[in-house]
Amino acid sequence: MIKLALKVKFYSLFRINLKSAGTEYELDNQITIAELIKKLDQDYDGYFTQKLLEEDRSISSGAIILLNGKNVIHLDKLETVVSNQDTVTLFPPSAGG
C-alpha cells in the first residue's frame, strides 16, 4: 500500500537553520496552510510563525509558500486547503539586496 502524505519542503535558510530538507505529515483530513504552519511550529518550536507570518497573521513580505508549485498568495492565502499527496514548499523572506 502506498503511504499518502503531505510533503513539506524547506529551502534556503530554512534548510540550513533546521538542518532538514523537509518533513511529511499523514493527514486524517484536509487542513489549511495556517493549520499546517501551526503543526510545523509544534515540531520546530514556533519557528515558522516567526519566519513566515506578520504580527497580523498575514504572510510576511518576501516569504514564499507554494502548494504544488503555485504561490498560495494567488490561491486562498493562509486559508488554502492542503491534503495528502500535496507538496508545500517553503522559502523564507530573503534579506539583503
Of 17, 9, 13, 15, whose CA–CA distance to 62 is shortest? 13
pTM of the predicted protein model: 0.93
Q: How many residues does the chain have?
A: 97
Pairing of strands 70-71, 64-67: antiparallel
- For residues 54 and 34, the answer to whether their CB atoms sit within 8 Å is no
Report the Cα 20 to chain-centroid distance in Å.
14
Question: What is the predicted pLDDT for the residue at 96?
Answer: 54
pLDDT of 58: 96
Q: Please list the rounded mean pLDDT of every run of 10 residues in the chain (97 residues).
A: 86 96 96 98 97 95 97 98 98 76
Identify the pLDDT of residue 4: 86
CA distances for 52 relative to 15, 26, 29, 61, 97, angstroms: 14, 22, 23, 8, 19
